[in-house]
């Protein structure tokens, strides 16, 4: 197999290097100790930093990285975590995300304060805005510890009517049910 060098043209799935030689960067991914191209483009080998990248002129699916803001739907809430189906990358709403598009929010990453029970922070079906902590693991590690991140839309767990904010609580205008969530500062204001 010929050695890949800067300027080589590659397509998705082309072998680039091993993880003993390089670290995958933009446009590349690692699987079983081997690095492959995730897009069609031109290779950039940075010998100094030991990173290998593929740059595409074609606008492909966005790749998640640390610090990105994503919007997703809570799928399941457990004692120590909440599973999130990641729908979009904020700022790239026009492009579908590649797999894996599942994330998790650990109890330690829900709020800046101590969280005792996850079921008081999220419910299945809630729409959340979260920050990516680690996109190199599956599921993607997410955080809602911040004022501008958290639940942006929630429905009543009794009647499924959209909940309205009352200070730090949520009230159902239909049945009067009172609920709590880890809310984003702009809850139900229409912003992703």
Same domain? 43 vs 95: no
In a domain, 99, yes or no: yes
Structural domain includes residue 2? no
26 pLDDT higher than 70: yes
Range of the domain at 21: 9-55
Same domain, 110 and 165: yes
Q: What does pLDDT average to over the chain? A: 89
Q: Does residue 186 belong to any structural domain of this protein? A: no
- Cβ(93)–Cβ(79) under 8 Å? no
Q: Are 130 and 138 in contact (CB under 8 A)?
A: no
Decide: 164 and 170 in contact? Cβ < 8 Å: yes
Same domain, 130 and 77: yes
* Same domain? 160 vs 77: yes
- CATH of residue 46's domain is 2.40.50.100
* Whether residue 110 sits in one domain with residue 80: yes
Closest CA to 135 of 39, 67, 44: 67
For the chain, give me the number of helices (H) and strands (E)? 0, 16
Per-residue pLDDT tens for 48-97?
999 999 988 666 667 788 999 999 999 999 999 999 999 888 887 777 77
pTM: 0.68
pLDDT band at 101 (very low <50, low <70, confident <90, very high): confident
pLDDT at 132: 94
C-alpha span between 113 and 32 (Å, rounded): 38
Residue 168 falls inside a structural domain: yes
Beginning with the edge strand found earlier in the chain, give each strand of the sheet holding 178-179 in spatial order.
Answer: 164-166, 169-171, 178-179
Residue 100 scores a pLDDT above 70: no
* Calpha distance 158→150 (Å, rounded): 21
| Domain count of the fold of the chain | 2
- C-alpha dist (Å) from residue 26 to 14, 42, 126: 14, 11, 31
Condensed to tens digits (0 to 9), the pLDDT of residues 130-168 reads 999 998 888 999 999 988 999 999 999 999 999 999 988
Residues 74 and 127 in one domain: yes
């Amino acid at each position: 197999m010929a050695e890949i060098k800067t300027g080589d043209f590659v397509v998705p799935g082309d072998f680039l290097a091993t993880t003993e030689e390089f670290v995958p960067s933009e446009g590349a991914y690692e699987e079983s100790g081997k690095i492959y191209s995730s897009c069609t483009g031109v290779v950039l080998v940075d010998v100094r930093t030991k990173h290998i990248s593929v740059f595409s002129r074609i606008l492909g699916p966005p790749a998640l990285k640390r610090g990105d803001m994503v919007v997703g739907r809570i799928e399941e809430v457990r004692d120590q975590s909440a599973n999130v189906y990641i729908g979009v990358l904020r700022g790239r709403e026009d492009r579908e995300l590649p797999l894996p598009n599942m994330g998790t929010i650990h109890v330690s990453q829900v709020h800046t304060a101590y969280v005792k029970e996850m079921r008081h922070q999220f419910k299945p079906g809630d729409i959340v805005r979260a920050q990516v902590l680690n996109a190199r693991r599956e599921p993607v590690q997410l955080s809602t510890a911040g004022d501008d991140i958290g639940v942006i839309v929630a429905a009543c767990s009794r009647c499924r009517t959209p909940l309205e904010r009352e200070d730090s609580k949520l009230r159902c205008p239909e049945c009067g049910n009172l609920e709590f969530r880890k809310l984003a500062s702009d809850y139900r204001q229409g912003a992703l």
